[in-house]
Amino acid sequence: MSFINLKYKPKKSDVVCQYKITPSPNRSLKSVAEAVAGESSIGTWTEVKTMNEKIRKKLSPKIFYINEKEKRIRIAYPLELFELGNLPEVMSSIGGNIFGMKAVRGILWEDISIPKKMLKSFKGPRYGIKGIRKLLKIKSRPLVGTIVKPKVGLNPEQHARVAYQAWVGGCDIVKDDENLTSQSFNEFKKRFLLTNKLRKIAEKKTGERKAYLINCTAETKEMLRRIRFVEEHGGNYIMLDIITLGWAALQTARDYTKLPIHAHRAGHAMFDRNPNHGMSMEVIAQLARMIGVDTLHIGTVVGKMVGEREEVLHIEEEIESEFTPKTKEHLEQKWYGVKPVLGVASGGVYPGLVPKIIELLGIDIVIQAGGGIHGHPKGTEAGAKAMRQAVEASLKKIPLKEYARGKLEKNSAKRVREKPRRAQNSPQALE
């Protein structure tokens, strides 16, 4: 059964996927493309008597693009192949068995174009860029964020104190790191109550709105209990490790809560780091937007994590634009009113990188630094001030060294590797 039809023009209702394929030895790209199309839809390894012409005609995918030089193919799948509103089923179909076939040495799912009817079967972001800006009353600058460091080890009182110092120093957002949930040394409920209490004190002191993104990642029922606790006790944001949590649980969380959802992408490199096998971050980002996260890590280009300039810029375009133009290597995507997601530049960020990040990614971005704030010689508050000043200088197009003159926090204009100060004093001392 052949699925190749190079004259086919995808319908607006088709789900279109692009794959980069490395065939196994003695296999042609066309033969492997046929195997991928069949295995991800109605086919199997041999002819079967149960196949009928009606199924073949209605549900057969079309391989409409083959680039032998770049080893890329594009497949248009009829929408009827999928259960709307069920991302696990979509993933089982498109991203399921094909990665384990002997016919391929490597297969990278590079991109996807999602039709309107499928998009509308998911909720999309509740807030998006405009909603987050309205929530925090920040109109026209990048948001400044931090992650409490060290990742794990602080007790709830120490954690809250570090968060407070970051907020009063100028951070808009403070978040947990990906591996802090509810360990014995820092239990979830106590951490939230203490940190959220200091968030409110910081808001009064600074006159600015602040957000605490507490990590609610857990088994699904426990996740919902934690989200409910945050809602009932005055929280204003949650964080989820969306890859390790799973698509189904993320859908459940989006349907359940009215709070903004920050998506940490911990684990994404298991899928997208190999350039010849897995699933690209572009695909992960689009699926996360379709389900409905409000902020998402996208990389920095200039930070410590892998992520080439073209990739990071394309991810930002896909999650922040209403229309992603088709290029040589990427598919076209229309979002049909699905709210855009606010990208988060994080990973090895410090004040000296801020001008370049804004130059590359614009102002609709969260500039997030962990060690780049807490590693400041004068402590977390000074580090947060330095980050905020770097944003101010960049928007005014003033060189950082010039803007830093006379400011006590200027030492953080260059990368600082000193360990952060140990948090001291109790939250009650701040009241």
- The residues annotated as belonging to the active site are 149, 264
Which residues pair with residue 74 across a beta bridge?
18, 65
15-23 and 104-113 beta bridge pairing: antiparallel
The 3-class secondary structure across the chain, one letter per residue, is CCCECCCCCCCCCCEEEEEEEEECCCCCHHHHHHHHHHHCCCCCCCCCCCCCHHHHHHHCCEEEEEECCCCEEEEEECHHHCCCCCHHHHHHHHCCHHHHCCCEEEEEEEEEECCHHHHHCCCCCCCHHHHHHHHHCCCCCCEEEEECCCCCCCCHHHHHHHHHHHHHHCCCEEECCCCCCCECCECHHHHHHHHHHHHHHHHHHHCCCCEEEEECCCCHHHHHHHHHHHHHCCCCCEEEEHHHHCHHHHHHHHHHCCCCEEEECCCCHHHHCCCCCEECHHHHHHHHHHHCCCEEECCCCCCCCCCCHHHHHHHHHHHHCCEECCCCCCCCEECCCCCCCEEEEECCCCHHHHHHHHHHHCCCEEEEECHHHHCCCCCHHHHHHHHHHHHHHHHCCCCHHHHHCCCHHHHHHCCCCCCCCCCCCCHHHHC
Question: Could you identify the residue written with the tokens 């290029």?
Answer: 327
> Residue 79 phi/psi, 5° resolution?
-60, -30
Distance CA 40, CA 1 (A): 14
Token duo for residue 74? 């594009």
